[in-house]
Amino acid sequence: MDELRLKLAIQKSGRLTEPSLDLLVRCGLKISRGKDQLMAYGENMPLDVLFVRDDDIPDLVQEDVCDLGLVGLNVLEEKRLELASRGHAARFQQVRTLDFGRCRLALAVPDGASFEGPSSLRGKRIATTYPYLLEKYLRERDVCAEIVTLSGAVEIAPRLGRADLICDLVSTGSTLQANHLREVETVLESHAVLIRTPLDLPPLKDEWVQRLLMRIDGVQQVRESKYIMLHAPRSALGEIRKLLPGSESPTIIPLEGFPDRVAIHAVCRENVFWETLESLKKAGASALLVLPVEKMLA
């Protein structure tokens, strides 16, 4: 393996695969990947992508096989706690919060069952694939319960009589609903994160890590951002600036032949809704134009 090329681990096949690849492509990476190949070569950056099971991603960074990884916070925190339980320190750093893979690790009880806060968990059997996160949650609330660790299909454990309730990942809630379970408490809010090794990297590799981080920031900002252009009376400038969502200093341009009117151009870091445009129009704006932003570099 080329020691001067960065190695980034992503999920091979699952919920994080497509958004991870999409992020990398938006960061400008071109990769060639054969079907079922475990590694893809970055053609225009010294960066190769390893495709692995998501549970292995923290380990690969921990063991210096990879420099970077894209993984769910749920998997990362479970690993951190597991390492701590064996007296080991985590050797991965979370360097970016990403805008995909959002879900929560939550407790859910069978539909008819009562729940009056964490004390209701006392003496109960809780099925989960996240025993360390659940143990921490219970310990912090001073509750003694039995953790039933499963490797999957947690949602059917209560029906099979293996547990009284579950602790599992939820996004839309439809899996819980289909299994007659009711979400009662959040154990961890999760989303995908970028992790890196805490080791010092050779300058060339480190420079590419910094460039990648900057590009990721740009990509994430752009997803929500819009470029807005409008004409407005000079007298309405103050009100219009207040109405522009999440925009820093807008550019004000004089309009030839109209001393009382100006053109305003601004990057809005939040989505621009019809309601905003209507309010701007009411404040005196005209010729409103909203454009998507392609790339951004602060």
Binding residues (CB under 5 A) for Zn ion: these are 54-55
Is 75 one of the binding residues for ligand PRT (CB under 6 A)? yes
Quote the longest CA-to-CA distance of the chain.
Answer: 80
Residue 155 beta carbon to ligand PRT: minimum distance, rounded to whole angstroms: 6
CB-wise, 45 or 148, nearer to ligand PRT? Answer: 148
Question: For residue 252, what are its two tokens?
Answer: 């004000």
Q: Is 170 in the site for ligand PRT (CB under 6 A)?
A: yes
Q: Which is nearer to ligand PRT, 16 or 49 (CB)?
A: 16
Q: At its nearest, how many Å lie between ligand PRT and the CB of residue 269?
A: 25
Rg (CA), the chain: 25
**Please, what is the Cα angle at 63 between 59 and 69, to 5 degrees?**
55
Single out the segment in contact with ligand PRT by CB under 6 A; choices: 33-41, 43-51, 70-78, 267-275: 70-78
Tell me whether residue 168 or residue 267 sits nearer to ligand PRT (CB atom).
168
Question: Judged by CB under 6 A, which stretch of 42-50, 164-172, 247-255, 258-266 contacts ligand PRT?
Answer: 164-172
Number of residues in contact with ligand PRT under rule CB under 6 A: 21
**Contacted by 74, from Zn ion, ligand PRT, none: CB < 5 to 8 Å by type:** ligand PRT
Of positions 30, 53, 159, 180, contacts ligand PRT by CB under 6 A: 53
Task: Please report how close the Cβ of residue 79 comes to Zn ion at its closest, in angstroms.
Answer: 11
Q: Alpha-carbon torsion 15, 16, 19, 24, what sign? A: negative
d(CA 81, CA 72): 15
CB of 239 to ligand PRT, least distance (A): 41
**Closer CB to ligand PRT, residue 30 or residue 33?**
33
Nearest to ligand PRT of 19, 233 (CB atom): 19
Q: Establish if 182 lies at the interface with ligand PRT (CB under 6 A).
A: no
Q: From Zn ion, ligand PRT, none, which one binds at residue 28 (CB under 5 to 8 Å depending on kind)?
A: none
- Compare residues 17 and 221 and give the one whose CB is closer to Zn ion: 17
What sign does the dihedral 93-62-100-225 (CA atoms) show? positive
Which of 6, 8, 9, 16 is the binder for ligand PRT (CB under 6 A)? Answer: 16
Min CB(160)–ligand PRT separation in Å: 16
Sheet holding 181-190, edge to edge: 146-149, 125-128, 165-170, 103-110, 181-190
Q: Which stretch binds ligand PRT (CB under 6 A): 13-21, 157-165, 213-221, 251-259?
A: 13-21
276 binds, among ligand PRT, Zn ion, none (CB under 5 to 8 A by kind): none
Binding-site ranges for ligand PRT (CB under 6 A): 11, 14-16, 53-55, 72, 74-75, 101, 103, 168-175, 190
